[in-house]
Every structure is written in C-alpha cells, then in structure tokens.
Amino acid sequence: MIGIIDYGMGNLRSVQKGFERVGADAVLLRGPDEVGRIDRLILPGVGAFADGMEHLESRGWIGAIGDFIASGKPFIGICLGMQLLFDSSTEDAPSLDQPVAGLGVLPGRVVEFDVNRGGQRIKVPHMGWNTVAWEGHFALFNGLEPGAAVYFVHGFYAEAVDVDSNGMATATTEYPVGAPFTCAAHKDNVWATQFHPEKSQTVGLRMLANFATL
C-alpha cells in the first residue's frame, strides 16, 4: 500500500489519481498514526518551504517521516516535498545566512532562481515542460531515456552538495540551456523529484509505476 502524506500543502488528489492510473493502490494519510499499514510513502506539496515545515511539525509528521525512512522502505518527495527533504531553504528566510531548516535527509540548500541565471534572462517561476538528464542507474527512471520531458512549476531549486561523498545520485535539467540544476535525487531508499510526475503524462506515469514496484 502506498501512503500520501496529507499535511495541508497541495496536490494530493492528483498524485493519488496518477497511481490509480498505473494500477497502484494509494491512500491519503491524515496523520502519522496511519503509517503502520504503508509500504511506500510520498511527501507531495505545493507552496512555501517554511509553511511546509510548519505544517509537518504541527501535524506530527517530522518524526514519523524520519522513522519511515530509517525503516528502509521506499520514500519519495515531489516538488515542495523534494525541497523539504534538503537541509535548508532561503525561501522566506530572515537572510541568506539564516536559511529555514528542512528535514535534512538530503544534503544541500534550496535557493531561488536568479532571473539572470546562466548569463541569460529567464522567467521565474520555471513553468512548463523541460528535459531530464542523468547518468548511471536511476531506478525511478527505468524504461526511460535521458532527454525525457517532464512538467515543472517552481521558483526555487535544490543546490545539492557533496553528492559523491554522501552517496547521493542526482538528475539535472537545464534552465536556461547551459545552466543545469538538480531536478531529481536518490539516496538509499529515498527519491525526490522537483518536477511533477503526476502531471508529466506517459513519462511521469512510468515513474510512478516504477516507484510502486521498487
């Protein structure tokens, strides 16, 4: 059984419907006391980083997420859910030197896109279809070729650090061309995507099906 954390931050039903389309059972979890029956856990989300952390804490999810990940069962964060897995974020922070603390499951900091990123002027938020590149084995992408297109809606992204020393694999997307950012990550039993698999049509549904069988 797949559980989707309901912490009041967004796209729960669309994620649930995505799993239904690939024949996987997924239920919305109203509280951490419901995790015991779950084999795979999803942290989705739309909104601001600080609000997301406050909602998780006030609903008792932070310890439950840590315990679930420690159990070795598959876990995935999607969009805001990916960002919350990192060490911190500058979104709504008092200053760049005082970022908002995240769950600390993945190493790195979440930062805002610079409108002049990569020497080119870009639109923020990054919205629409873009391609994904990765190297080596990335189980979430089984059956897909690098260059597959997925759907994004975000103004912040994760600056993943010390990838090799922390045993974390990452996938990247260029925005703009020539300026890659981390769009997905994998460490042990934890996966994360900045894009929305549930909105990414055939490619995204393949990713959801892969997660359901990890």
pLDDT of residue 201: 97
Specify whether 79 is catalytic. Answer: yes
pLDDT of residue 172: 96
| β-sheet bridge partners, residue 192 | 77, 185
Specify whether 196 is catalytic. Answer: yes
Token output for 48: 């601001």
Every domain of the chain and the residues it spans: 2-212
How far apart CA 46 and CA 48 sit, in angstroms, is 7
pLDDT of residue 162: 61
CB atoms within 10 A of CB 131: 14
User: Exposed, middle or buried: residue 132 (CB in 10 Å: 0-12, 13-18, 19+)?
Assistant: buried
pLDDT of residue 165: 60
CA distances from 73 to 33, 44, 142, 190 (A): 17, 17, 19, 8
How far apart CA 209 and CA 14 sit, in angstroms, is 15
| Residues with pLDDT less than 50, the chain | none
CATH placement of domain 2-212? 3.40.50.880
pLDDT of residue 109: 95
55, 126, 186, 198: which one is catalytic?
A: 198
54, 57, 79, 126: which one is catalytic?
A: 79
